[in-house]
Amino acid sequence: MKLSSALARLLRLRLEIALIVALGLAALGSGINEAPLVDWDEATYAEVTHEALAAHDYLRFTWNNEPYVKKPPLLFWTLAASFGALGESEFAARLPSVVFGAGTLVLIYLSATLAAGRLAGTLAALIPLQFYFFVARGGRECATDAPLLFFMTLAIYATLRARGSRRWAAVAGVASGLAILSKGLAGTLALIVAPLAVVLVPGFETVGTAGLTTIFVCAGAVATPWYVYAAFHNPLFWSSFVGHETLARIVRHLEDETRPGSYTLRVFAEEARFLWPLLLPLGALTLTAERRVAAGEILGRLHPAVGLWLVWLAIALGAACAVQTKLPWYVLPALMPVALLGGTLAARTLTYRGPMRTAVISMDALALMLIALHAPARWNLIADAHHVQRLRSAPSYAMGLKARRAAALAGGGELYFAGVELPTLVYYARMRCKFVKSSNDLTRITDPGAAAPPPVERNELMLVDSQGRALPITTLDAEWQLSGDSSP
């Protein structure tokens, strides 16, 4: 009796949560200390936070000493807290995203467990660790996607719980507001899913108008103050944040490479295709003599959460397809309901008790084995892609370190680079860099009586000291030969 009682208490501790967190931290935290912070997002966000800390201003952000209103503030606030507690480093820059990513896995576990039990929760929480964009953008890299996914998943989970308690409606609203403070318009997806679930999904009518009102009021209370402040105090808010970063991304192709409308669906299929073995147990169900009974066993008796997740999937994927700027990681919000549905399906078929039980369970076991066998190759692919990302930023990282040393020896000055903006260069140089197209832009900061500065070539980095002397530091081309594996 004592042994069984102890075992029961141990099971109640939900050791699978510890496993999920451990695996999540291991996958997302891989290389957390490695330099450099990569172009463009990691180094950009770290530099914005660095300048905010230096200026002690956490509402009016700058990048390279120029006003920055491209993203909402929540990531910068979390980075500022991390830098303040741990010191400024690659580890401190990436830690918030790793924590948010691991937290998203726990929320997926809790959501699927609520609908279909602990096995479903465990399987669903492990699925995202094979999504490249979840590992890269949703947890491993310093990016706005990690807090967006966490708070969006929390909002959906709280909406699910709001069926039984209105207090969860307030949680859903606060989480939605924080999602909006994470990534702007993308954070409103949960606010679209909630009312659609109330209207379309049986079982959510108990949330009602009062619950929806609570969700929207709480979301507005959390998100509105910063947006009002930015609208009235930052002249670039309307042109940069609203105009370019929001509206223009919806209606125009802003990326360097224009992609067709089907691109988003191809990316989504590429991310989710490792789950194809789950079609095997579904195929076994179609062969049962009592097909309707079998379908009812798997689908008809499922928790209302399944309907909520299907709405989430449709809205998130539809929004990603509709946006004309086709960045591949825009599919991320649609991948979370895929994990929930996949884990729930696998758990339900594994515990199936209807016709052809042996065949269905055998097909499900085979499906899970195939997915597990595929995992190492998928993880290697993710690791290789991440390594390439770091390699591509190594040249600008080296340039930034050389610029910092040169400025220290010269007693300061101003940096000029003839080429595209390189946030990693700015962050590691620890000084402003003026990005120019030709040497003509250098003449305005020299003494009119001094000799003309030497021409700055394409991809050349130059320091102009306090006496107006132009001191060549290095070139991007040379650093690529030393640090990179391909030309810029």
Confidence class of residue 1 from pLDDT cuts 50, 70 and 90?
very low
- Give the pLDDT of residue 164: 86
* 414-418 vs 433-436, strand pairing mode: parallel
Average pLDDT, the chain: 88
Q: Which residue has the higher pLDDT, 305 or 251?
A: 305
- Give the pLDDT of residue 336: 97
User: What are the b/e assignments for 442-462, b being 16+ CB within 10 Å?
Assistant: beeebeeeeeebeebeebbbb
Q: How many CB atoms lie within 10 A of CB 135?
A: 24
CA distance 238 to 268: 32
Beta carbons of 323 and 249 less than 8 angstroms apart: yes
How long a stretch of residues is the chain? 488
Q: Which residue has the higher pLDDT, 451 or 201?
A: 201
Is the pLDDT confidence value at 57 over 70? yes
Confidence class of residue 320 from pLDDT cuts 50, 70 and 90?
very high
- Give the pLDDT of residue 31: 87
Beta carbons of 66 and 8 less than 8 angstroms apart: no
Report which DSSP code applies to 452. P
Per residue in 78-94, pLDDT tens? Answer: 999 999 999 999 999 99
Is the pLDDT confidence value at 109 over 60? yes
Q: Which residue has the higher pLDDT, 7 or 125?
A: 125
Give the C-alpha distances (Å, rounded to integers) separating 454 from 271, 324, 441, 457. Answer: 50, 43, 12, 9
CA distance 236 to 247: 14
Is the pLDDT confidence value at 401 over 90? yes
Confidence class of residue 419 from pLDDT cuts 50, 70 and 90?
confident
- Give the pLDDT of residue 351: 84
Report which DSSP code applies to 244. I
Q: 372 is written with which tokens?
A: 């597990």
CA distance 160 to 306: 10
Q: Which residue has the higher pLDDT, 299 or 112?
A: 112
Per residue in 145-199, pLDDT tens? Answer: 999 999 999 999 999 999 988 899 999 999 999 999 999 999 999 999 999 999 9
pTM attached to this predicted model: 0.91
Q: Which residue has the tokens 């507001």?
A: 177
Q: In this structure, which amino acid lies at residue 214? A: T
- Give the pLDDT of residue 143: 94
- Give the pLDDT of residue 486: 42
Per residue in 203-233, pLDDT tens? Answer: 899 999 999 999 999 999 999 999 999 999 9
CA distance 241 to 248: 10
Which H/E stretch holds residue 272? helix 263-272
Distance of CA 114 to the CA centre of its chain: 25
Per residue in 280-318, pLDDT tens? Answer: 887 776 676 455 444 444 544 568 999 999 999 999 999
- Give the pLDDT of residue 296: 47
Beta carbons of 322 and 250 less than 8 angstroms apart: yes
